[in-house]
């Protein structure tokens, strides 16, 4: 699967009106992500329309294509999306890594480790790939362990973990989109 993400240089700053495109291969399937006013993100494609928006207080709301709303409690160092009272997606933020869980254990089903110019993606003890920023071209590229390019953001302008969900083997497409929108929202 090849993902091509096109973005204006300042998109990762999350300014309203900015957008990016993700082209999935085999396909063609296109996902368009747009930053809106008030910290709202929309993604269209890959089976429908998704939305991440601020809720009341310390909450975020992620809306699936079928209009199911999944609420997250967001704290300085974590976000927990719950569906029907069960953890749907948990994210724990550290200065040098991000842990992603699908269970309350907090064991870190996936880890995104910041290594300066790249983010290494792990599932359990094994690395599944890396996201690397190339300052000379402004590109952000995600490659699997075989160095096969999986995703690219042209004009990213800075390192980011935003492509890491697409290297998170076993993570559903809905959760990948949710996590990418959350990382954009948090500026990570």
Query: What does the pLDDT read at residue 4?
Result: 40
Q: Nearest Cα to 165, choosing from 178, 154, 156? A: 178
Q: What is the pLDDT of residues 111-127, one digit of tens each?
A: 999 988 799 999 988 99
* Alpha-carbon distance values, 101 to 53, 55, 123, 173 (Å): 21, 22, 10, 15
Is-above-0.75 flag for pTM? yes
> What are the respective helix, strand and coil percentages of the chain, to the nearest 5?
15, 50, 35
Tens of each residue's pLDDT in the chain, 188 residues: 444 443 433 345 456 777 776 655 544 567 788 888 988 999 987 788 999 999 998 899 999 999 999 999 988 889 999 999 999 999 999 999 999 999 887 677 999 999 887 999 999 889 999 999 988 988 888 899 999 888 777 777 788 898 899 899 888 889 998 998 899 888 88
Contact residues for 96 (Cβ-Cβ < 8 A; gap 6+): 113, 114
Query: What does the pLDDT read at residue 14?
Result: 57
CB distance 142 to 129 below 8 Å: yes
Interatomic CA distance for residues 2 and 25, integer angstroms: 5
């Amino acid at each position: 699967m090849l993902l091509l993400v096109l973005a204006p240089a300042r998109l990762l700053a999350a300014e309203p009106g900015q957008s990016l495109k993700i082209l999935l291969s085999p396909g063609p399937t296109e996902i368009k992500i747009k930053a809106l006013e008030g910290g709202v993100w929309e993604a269209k494609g890959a089976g429908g329309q998704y939305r991440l928006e601020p809720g009341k207080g310390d909450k975020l709301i992620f809306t699936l294509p079928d209009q199911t709303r999944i609420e997250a409690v967001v704290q300085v160092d974590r976000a927990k999306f719950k569906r029907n009272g069960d953890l749907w997606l948990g994210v724990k933020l550290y200065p040098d890594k991000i842990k992603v869980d699908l269970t309350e254990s907090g064991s870190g089903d996936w880890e995104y480790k910041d290594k300066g110019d790249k983010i290494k993606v792990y599932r359990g003890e094994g690395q599944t790939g890396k996201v690397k920023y190339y300052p000379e071209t402004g590109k952000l590229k995600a490659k699997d362990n075989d160095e096969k390019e999986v995703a690219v953001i042209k004009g990213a302008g800075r390192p980011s973990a935003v492509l890491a969900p697409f290297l998170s083997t076993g993570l559903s497409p809905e959760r990948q989109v949710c996590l990418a929108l959350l990382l954009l929202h948090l500026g990570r």
